[in-house]
């Protein structure tokens, strides 16, 4: 095999080449291409635990294909324990991947990922490094039985929390729930949270092998898929297939449609926008909303449906979902999915769809004629409160709140939110609009998942289970409710959200795609004239750099030094390797 990137290190007969061959003897003796395995396992991240065994299988596949596996560490981003959020470190982990490739003799990549920001970081790192690459995904954990049914991680916890706050769930039941969650074992959330959403979208994008979505990472099938992943990356090195060749505009559009069809995590909107920014594609909210308008809910999976993510493989997985989207295009005379886009095995999706089970009228994956819920399942809104846009998951919202006007209750930080909303004496009306601000990309920093604020305690006790919430932050993909998220510009940079006061009227009109603050513009101008951003926290190191360089949600909350690279900035154009 000739023309390998690693030849720049190992070719020649000078002392530098000798040192390189000594450092990696297997490659120095002409052992074939070098395939990096990005290791994101950590004892702090149980979601990624199944990857330890899968990396062994991937390495076996790499060796069998005549290449050399080399493992290197990447920061493990587990949302469960990292504070204020793993999102703060998504761009850092992506940079680690890119810089490992830039500085080392790596010809191709197997990128391990499980908990959601590791998947996002792997996608972004792969796009910027732009060497042949596939992801290897850990898959959802097992679902323990609680109260006679499988437990949906996250989703059932949020529901139980409101029941507890309403006095309907006692301490014994609460502790029983905790014990059940503990028994679930390693792997990602069992519902269509961000991890499962991004796994599915990675498959649609062609950056993992078909069949990964919903697969238990500890299963023999997953091990076989991992081995094939290693071998496939070697094939991609031979053919020169790179992420920029695979993730075309058609592939991105397929992913945006699939996101709506499964009622996926709103977090994916940000990650896809960042991916688009790195590849020079259109991932704007306006473009996404146009794609979403005719897409109904085709996956009957929590939090918007009945089943768990592990039910997807037996239902046909991504090929069956794409078949449903293709059928939708025929029914609506729309453009639909582009099945000429390639899957991770290099074959066009139309070949996989032709062999897949058909969607059904009442199964996990539905026909376009019998959807779980009508279109749209997700919308982008603009208006005087969100001039640059925001996102709302209609499939997880209350239909009676999709057109709503009410008084604002403003919450400026997490402690303030929990203290006030848990106050049984809080004066609050049923039509309240909760405004959770100061938690955007710059504000927190890092954009934590605090947007789905708890229902105020007095309302919970009156039986209220949803109110309109508006935030410049995010919410977990396992969450639900009528929540307008990622409001841009965020409060910390002086967006209109910064000038909302308690009692101001806010109007949400989803059919009109509007979110408006009903305050006289002259009054808002007076407020803006005296507004000052919150004093920066005592930040140093990465959080400080992040805050100085991060963009807003509609462009993916990426760093300005990473977004939209020119071709000559890509890793593939390294200078000639010189003396160490």
pLDDT-derived band at 155, boundaries 50, 70, 90: confident
Q: Are 486 and 349 contained in the same domain?
A: no
**Domain for residue 520, yes or no?**
yes
Could you tell me which residues come within 8 angstroms of residue 524 by beta carbon, excluding any fewer than 6 positions away?
496, 499, 517
pLDDT in tens, 10-46: 999 999 999 999 999 988 777 799 999 999 999 999 9
- Is the pLDDT at 2 greater than 80? The verdict is no
Other CB atoms within 10 A of residue 196 CB: 32
Please name every residue paired with 381 in a beta bridge, in sequence order, or none if there are none: 390
411-436 mean pLDDT: 93
The pLDDT of residue 580: 41
pTM for this prediction: 0.95
Q: Are 110 and 162 contained in the same domain?
A: no
Contact by Cβ (8 Å): 339, 326: yes
Q: Are 175 and 273 contained in the same domain?
A: no
Q: Are 118 and 165 contained in the same domain?
A: no
Query: How many CA atoms, within 13 angstroms, populate the side-chain half-sphere of residue 370?
Result: 11
The pLDDT of residue 88: 97
- Is the pLDDT at 416 greater than 90? The verdict is no
Contact by Cβ (8 Å): 435, 500: yes
By the 10 Å C-beta count (0-12 exposed, 13-18 middle, 19+ buried), 405 is classed as: middle
Q: Are 94 and 156 contained in the same domain?
A: no
pLDDT-derived band at 568, boundaries 50, 70, 90: low
312-320 mean pLDDT: 97
499-524 mean pLDDT: 98
The pLDDT of residue 332: 76
Q: What percent of the chain has pLDDT over 90?
A: 85
| Total of domains in the chain | 3
The pLDDT of residue 335: 66
- Is the pLDDT at 161 greater than 80? The verdict is yes
- Is the pLDDT at 571 greater than 60? The verdict is no
The pLDDT of residue 567: 57
97-105 mean pLDDT: 97
- Cα separation, 195 vs 261, in Å, equals 16
Q: Are 110 and 255 contained in the same domain?
A: yes
Contact by Cβ (8 Å): 137, 49: no
Could you tell me which residues come within 8 angstroms of residue 420 by beta carbon, excluding any fewer than 6 positions away?
409, 411, 426, 456
The pLDDT of residue 565: 58
The pLDDT of residue 331: 81
**Domain for residue 259, yes or no?**
yes
- Cα dist from 52 to 55, 505, 569, whole Å: 6, 52, 33
The pLDDT of residue 575: 37
**Domain for residue 178, yes or no?**
yes
pLDDT in tens, 108-149: 999 999 999 999 999 999 999 999 999 999 999 988 888 888
The pLDDT of residue 573: 40
- Cα separation, 165 vs 86, in Å, equals 27
pLDDT-derived band at 386, boundaries 50, 70, 90: very high
The pLDDT of residue 566: 56
- Cα separation, 16 vs 235, in Å, equals 29
**Domain for residue 575, yes or no?**
no
pLDDT in tens, 460-470: 999 999 999 99
Domain residues for 166?
145-182
The pLDDT of residue 94: 98
**Domain for residue 499, yes or no?**
yes
pLDDT-derived band at 226, boundaries 50, 70, 90: very high
Torsions phi, psi of 133, nearest 5? -155, 145
**Domain for residue 544, yes or no?**
no
Q: What percent of the chain has pLDDT over 70?
A: 96
**Domain for residue 283, yes or no?**
yes
Choosing from 355, 390, 418, the residue where a domain stops is 355
Q: Are 349 and 268 contained in the same domain?
A: yes
- Cα dist from 98 to 91, 521, 546, 572, whole Å: 10, 46, 17, 11
Q: Are 196 and 171 contained in the same domain?
A: no
pLDDT in tens, 321-377: 999 999 998 887 666 899 999 999 999 999 999 999 999 999 999 999 999 999 999
Cite the DSSP H helix spans in 356-425. Answer: 414-421
Which CATH number covers residue 414?
3.50.30.80
pLDDT in tens, 267-285: 999 999 999 999 999 999 9
293-312 mean pLDDT: 96
Residue with tokens 């408006």: 516
73-102 mean pLDDT: 96
Q: Are 426 and 517 contained in the same domain?
A: yes
Q: Are 419 and 507 contained in the same domain?
A: yes
The pLDDT of residue 183: 77
Q: What is the 3-state secondary structure (H, E, C) of 1-62?
A: CCCCCCHHHHCCCCHHHHHHHHHCHHHHCCCCCEEEEEECCCCCCHHHCCHHHHHHHHHHHH
Closest by Cα among 468, 475, 525, 522 to 496: 525
- Is the pLDDT at 539 greater than 90? The verdict is no
Q: Are 96 and 172 contained in the same domain?
A: no
- Is the pLDDT at 383 greater than 80? The verdict is yes
- Cα separation, 294 vs 208, in Å, equals 27
Three-class secondary structure of residue 116 per DSSP = helix
**Domain for residue 547, yes or no?**
no
The pLDDT of residue 570: 56
- Is the pLDDT at 150 greater than 90? The verdict is no
- Is the pLDDT at 311 greater than 90? The verdict is yes
Q: Are 51 and 197 contained in the same domain?
A: yes
Residue with tokens 């303030």: 416
145-172 mean pLDDT: 88
Other CB atoms within 10 A of residue 573 CB: 10
Mean predicted lDDT score pLDDT of the chain: 93
């Amino acid at each position: 095999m000739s023309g390998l990137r690693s030849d720049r290190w190992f070719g020649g007969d000078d002392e530098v080449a000798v040192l390189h061959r000594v450092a990696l003897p297997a490659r120095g003796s002409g052992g074939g291409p070098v395939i990096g395995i990005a290791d994101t396992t950590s004892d702090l991240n149980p979601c990624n635990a199944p990857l330890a065994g899968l990396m062994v299988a991937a390495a076996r596949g790499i060796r069998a294909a005549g290449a050399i596996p080399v493992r290197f560490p990447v920061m493990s981003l587990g949302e469960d324990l990292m504070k204020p959020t793993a999102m703060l470190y998504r761009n850092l982990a992506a940079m680690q991947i890119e810089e490992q490739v830039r500085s080392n003799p790596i010809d191709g990549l197997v990128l391990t990922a499980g908990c959601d920001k590791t998947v996002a970081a792997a996608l972004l790192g792969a796009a910027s490094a732009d060497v042949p690459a596939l992801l290897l995904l850990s898959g959802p954990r097992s679902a323990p039985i609680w109260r006679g049914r499988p437990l949906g991680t996250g989703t059932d916890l949020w529901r139980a929390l409101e029941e507890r706050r309403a006095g309907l769930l006692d301490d014994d039941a609460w502790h029983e729930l905790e014990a059940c969650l503990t028994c679930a074992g390693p792997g990602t959330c069992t519902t269509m949270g961000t991890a499962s959403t991004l796994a599915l979208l990675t498959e649609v994008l062609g950056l993992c092998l078909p069949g990964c979505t919903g697969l238990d990472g500890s299963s023999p099938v997953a091990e076989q898929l991992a081995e094939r992943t290693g071998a496939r990356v070697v094939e991609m090195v031979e053919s020169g297939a790179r992420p920029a060749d695979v993730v075309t505009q058609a592939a991105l559009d397929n992913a945006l449609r699939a996101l709506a069809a499964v009622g996926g995590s709103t977090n994916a909107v940000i990650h896809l926008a960042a991916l688009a920014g790195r590849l020079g594609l259109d991932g704007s909210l306006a473009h996404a909303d146009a794609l979403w308008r005719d897409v109904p809910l085709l996956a009957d999976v929590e939090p918007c449906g009945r089943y768990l993510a592990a039910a997807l493989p037996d239902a046909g997985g991504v090929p069956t979902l794409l078949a449903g989207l293709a059928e939708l295009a025929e029914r609506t005379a729309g453009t639909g999915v582009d099945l000429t886009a390639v899957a991770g095995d290099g074959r066009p999706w139309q070949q996989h769809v032709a062999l897949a089970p058909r969607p059904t009228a009442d199964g996990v994956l539905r026909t376009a004629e019998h959807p779980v819920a009508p279109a749209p399942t997700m919308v982008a809104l603009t208006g005087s409160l969100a001039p640059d846009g925001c996102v709302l998951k209609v499939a997880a919202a209350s239909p009676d709140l999709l057109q709503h006007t009410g008084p604002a209750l403003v919450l400026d930080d997490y402690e303030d939110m929990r203290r006030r909303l848990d106050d049984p004496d809080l004066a609050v009306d049923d039509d309240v609009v909760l405004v959770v601000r100061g938690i955007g990309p710059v504000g927190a920093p890092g954009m934590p998942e605090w947007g789905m604020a708890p229902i105020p305690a007095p309302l919970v006790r009156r039986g209220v289970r949803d109110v309109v919430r508006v935030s410049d932050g995010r919410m977990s993909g396992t969450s639900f409710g009528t929540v307008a998220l990622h409001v841009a510009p965020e409060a910390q940079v002086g967006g209109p959200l910064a000038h909302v006061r308690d009692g101001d009227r806010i109007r949400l009109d989803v059919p009109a795609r509007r979110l408006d603050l009903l305050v006289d513009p002259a009054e808002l101008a007076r407020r803006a004239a005296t507004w000052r951003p919150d004093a920066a926290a005592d930040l140093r190191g990465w959080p400080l750099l992040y805050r100085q360089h991060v963009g807003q949600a509609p462009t993916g909350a990426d760093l300005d030094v990473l977004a939209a690279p020119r071709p000559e900035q890509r890793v593939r154009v390294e200078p000639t390797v010189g003396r160490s």
